[in-house]
Structure 1
Amino acid sequence: MRYSPLITDLYELTMLAGYLEEGMHETPAVFDLYYRHNPFKGGYAVFAGLDTALSYLENLAFSDDELAYLRSLGIFRPNFIEFLRGFRFRGRVTAPPEGTIVFANEPLLTIEGNLAEAQFVETALLNIINFQTLVATKAARVTHTAGSAKVIEFGLRRAHGPDGGISVARAAYIGGARSTSNVMAGKTFGIPVKGTHAHSWIMAFDDELTSFRRYAEVFPDTCILLVDTYDTLKSGIPNAITVARELRARGHELVGVRLDSGDLAYLSRETRRMLDEAGFPEAKILASNEIDEYVIESILSGGGKVDIYGVGTKLATCMGEGGGALGGVYKLVKIGDRPKLKVTSDIAKATLPDRKRLLRAVTPDGSFLMDIITLADETVLPGETVYNPVNPLQYTTIPADARFTELRNVVMEGGKRTSDREPTLDQMADHCAGQLTRLPHGCLRFINPHIYKVSISNGLFDLRMRLMEEVRQEW
């Protein structure tokens, strides 16, 4: 899928034109993409969108039609339009694998190249990474809460446009929702597609039993019946059981039933009892209707017997306190040979200068202890003091038994991917699931989650403080 270079904010183009006029466009530059607060007021995020971002960068080029449009705006000089004709991304990208658990203030993507190319890609990269990371995080929260039950992504009709629906299905898969109702996402990414039928199917027939029978005749091996159109327990389930017996007599089995309203904990318990007593213990119970991690938690606490959750609106739109947008930012951290620092009156918004590494300290059994951001050429050791990036008065010591792993690798060099064997979506989802088991358990809480430590090294702390002092002296 090609992302047009016009999917950008106008100011990226005006800055690019300005850099060209000033002769600055080929100056080496380094930018970091990161976010400041964990989404949903939770304890972590799931990194996603990298493959999409790399595809955008690899194919970045202006078509004749796009150049003609920019010319028609009447705000750019002819030499700039001609400059764009040969414009490509030929830089370096450093990033973690998709599905990696990440935290606020950590550099996710680092983009290195000349100032023109590294600056211009800001908007598109934020658009891709912010949204897919947000969705993958929501999906991880939902699927982790669901436990052994499966989760289907049902969000296309409520997603933010067709393109948003495609991104939702991909990112939700990484977070653990390993099937989708979105047929185009199935074709594009190879995601298994699942679905049932609507209430309108039942209402189109004279009675519920007839509608069930006709559906079972058309789909005898994939039949899931929606049982709440009239009365779930008095009509829907008894009629579904009748059809299940008829299917069995013909050599087929009812796959399951779907509950889409009411008290899902109570209804699923009763549905399970009725199906089991009728001789259909293998029939699955699928629940839908405004499902999210909080609803699932409530169903489970009420003794619910749901096998599959269809999660739509609240996943596709990332509803929930602290959701809606990730709030990722893209900041210049080095230009030429000079580390750069954004200083504000709010220390939490002061940036971390220069090229950096992102290390994860783990216990001998692989459990996560803390993350440490260091300068690119700096070495850290167990026992050293490290500092809170948003409050320099807070510091801690790296545990003596800590082992370090690099969270990021160079994934693009010279505008080309460094590997010709990208991980599959299944591998990304497995990576995410494995990482969740290694988090401190408190990070998984929805209310007042444990705050995982993200620290900066001595070298980065000293550089930041020195640059801040230089800025103050200029005032």
Structure 2
Amino acid sequence: MFENHEMNLSLLVDFYELTMANNFILDEQENVIACFDMFFRKIPDNGGYCIMAGLDQIITFIKNLKFTPEDIKFLESKNLFDKKFLDYLKNFKFSCDVYAIEEGFPIFPKEPIVTVKGPILECLLIETMLLLTLNHQILISTKASRICTAANGKDVLEFGSRRAQGYSGAIYGARASIIGGCIATSCTISEKKFNIPSFGTMAHSWIQMFDSEYEAFKTWAKYSPKNCVLLIDTYNVLKSGLPNAIRVFKELPKNDDRILGIRIDSGDITYLTKKAREILNKEGLHEVKIIVSNSLDENIITNVLSEGAEVDMFGVGERLITSKSEPVLGGVYKLCALYKNDVLIPKIKISENHDKITISGLKTVYRIFDSKTNMAIADLITNFYDTIDETKPLTIFDPNFTWKKKVITDFYTIKLHKKIFDKGVCVYKSPSVMEIHKIKNKEFSKLWPEITRLENPQNYFVDLSKNLWNSHQDLLNKYSNKYI
């Protein structure tokens, strides 16, 4: 997904958005003010959280959204759209309010991570781009966070460009990986585009180009003496690669600023790294870092570290950049309210599948923190204009099992929604990717380990305020009595 100033993506819409917009105009409903929420229902990999990412690309898309003469000509050629609709597109100008949770923040199922309020046609025409952008980057940032959690403080590099699902998947996946916790990417264009660190060592082909492995390593060290990381598994890690690397390292002039390392891209990670560390230490090369790659994910990393693997840095590729274990987030974008004669009319979708019942009304989200520990207790979804009195005890309850209640005292809240667009004008400045990386680390540290653990995490509370729950139940009862 390239940004709109690089490629015209205005028609990257699901076709029904155009047919609906056309018919709304014919029905003279184009000026009806609607409210839509984007949210997701399920956390990938049975995890305890997701990480917000992709908002900056949505901002760029909306800022540049326009329909070109070529777009209009193409739509006209289909003989499906009324002239009024085509004229509307010719003069399109975004005028909605947009609220969103900022990038880097942990997010949870059912809560609105983006809310759009404005003319119904405008809400419709950004749906596909909003979903595909956030679904992808949230998925990858969350996977990166899980992998970095498994690495237990050791650095993680994103090495997945060549296995990504298309060039935009590589570029924006690298961005999301940094947000999720990786310290660098192998994707050079992402450094240029987002000012994030890129990193690389060598491929086996470098070594194969020389008559001997030693010659290959020595030549590399000649040209990269201060950043000499050698790939030692082309032939045999312990019998060939490591001895030749040690020989070259010892031949290098002493330099306190140099970075020396070996990378292992195959074989038994635990055994090979333990033996390599033992041998390096015996040779007095304690400073040499051990980097491993080769189809890693959070489960493999957890296992090898538990076995005592001696690893300083992980390079993680295909299983990160594609979120191979669960490659779909499944975020949705649903109508939640309309304005008629300036009166808010909540709207609901009811389903026999309980998870698909939407939460009606124009809403916002508060995160509740314990004043003593500064740790997050729960998120509370409220009506948009409701406030929380922090001087009084607050009762939260499970919206499905209302007998599950918790009374909270000595707490404070932050409102998660930030205003991004005000009547079509962007009023928010996105932080840099590296700033978002820091935001993620800070906000993530406020979640209890029971929420962030990889296996069987505790469910984080996402509850409805009493007022919102009451209006939600009223709608459920209204429509169940009418249609069921």
Q: Pick one of 358, 364, 382 that aligns with 1:374.
A: 382
- Superposition deviation, residue 383 in structure 1: 3.6
Maintained 8 Å contact 1:46/1:99: yes
- Superposition deviation, residue 386 in structure 1: 3.2
Structure 1 position 462 matched with structure 2 position 465: no
- Superposition deviation, residue 108 in structure 1: 0.2
| TM-score, with structure 1 as normaliser | 0.95
Aligned counterpart, 2:414: 405
Q: Distance in 2 between matches of 1:230 and 1:311?
A: 22
- Superposition deviation, residue 99 in structure 1: 0.4
Q: For residues 387 and 253 of structure 1, do their structure 2 counterparts lie closer, same or farther at Cα, with a shift above 3 Å needed? A: closer
Q: Distance in 2 between matches of 1:378 and 1:295?
A: 46
Maintained 8 Å contact 1:139/1:172: yes
Maintained 8 Å contact 2:53/2:134: yes
Aligned counterpart, 1:449: 457
Structure 1 position 355 matched with structure 2 position 365: no
Structure 1 position 151 matched with structure 2 position 156: yes
Q: Distance in 1 between matches of 2:257 and 2:27?
A: 73
Q: Pick one of 333, 337, 342 that aligns with 2:336.
A: 333
More deviation in 228-237 or 262-271? 262-271
Listed as ranges, the matches of 1:38-53 within 5 Å are 38-53=43-58
Q: The residue matched to 1:223 in structure 2 has which SS?
A: strand
Q: The residue matched to 2:252 in structure 1 has which SS?
A: helix
More deviation in 275-284 or 97-106? 275-284
Q: Distance in 2 between matches of 1:347 and 1:447?
A: 25
Aligned counterpart, 1:342: 349
Q: For residues 348 and 383 of structure 1, do their structure 2 counterparts lie closer, same or farther at Cα, with a shift above 3 Å needed? A: farther
Listed as ranges, the matches of 1:39-188 within 5 Å are 39-188=44-193
Aligned counterpart, 2:268: 263
Q: Pick one of 414, 436, 439 that aligns with 1:431.
A: 439
Q: The residue matched to 2:94 in structure 1 has which SS?
A: coil
Maintained 8 Å contact 1:380/1:457: no
- Superposition deviation, residue 97 in structure 1: 1.4
Aligned counterpart, 1:195: 200
Structure 1 position 228 matched with structure 2 position 237: no
More deviation in 212-221 or 148-157? 212-221
Q: Distance in 2 between matches of 1:52 and 1:13?
A: 22
The answer for unaligned runs of 5 or more in structure 2 is none
Aligned counterpart, 1:215: 220
Superposed CA RMSD in Å reads 1.7
Q: Distance in 2 between matches of 1:162 and 1:308?
A: 25
Residue deviations 1:33-72 (CA, integer Å, cap 9, x gap): 0000112110000011111111111111112222222222
Q: Distance in 2 between matches of 1:14 and 1:82?
A: 15
Q: Pick one of 389, 396, 416 that aligns with 1:386.
A: 396
Query: Paired residues, what number?
Result: 471
Q: Distance in 1 between matches of 2:422 and 2:259?
A: 52
Q: For residues 114 and 254 of structure 1, do their structure 2 counterparts lie closer, same or farther at Cα, with a shift above 3 Å needed? A: closer
- Superposition deviation, residue 182 in structure 1: 0.4
- Superposition deviation, residue 204 in structure 1: 2.0
Q: Distance in 1 between matches of 2:331 and 2:229?
A: 41
Q: For residues 254 and 118 of structure 1, do their structure 2 counterparts lie closer, same or farther at Cα, with a shift above 3 Å needed? A: closer
Structure 1 position 274 matched with structure 2 position 279: yes
More deviation in 22-31 or 248-257? 248-257
Residue deviations 1:398-448 (CA, integer Å, cap 9, x gap): 4122222111111211222213x4312122111111222211211122221
Identity of aligned residues (%): 35
Structure 1 position 238 matched with structure 2 position 247: no
Q: Distance in 2 between matches of 1:112 and 1:176?
A: 32
Maintained 8 Å contact 1:383/1:397: no
Residue deviations 1:170-207 (CA, integer Å, cap 9, x gap): 11111111211101111100111100111122122222
Maintained 8 Å contact 2:194/2:432: no
- Return structure 1 stretches of 4+ with deviation > 4 angstroms: 249-254
Q: Distance in 1 between matches of 2:224 and 2:403?
A: 62
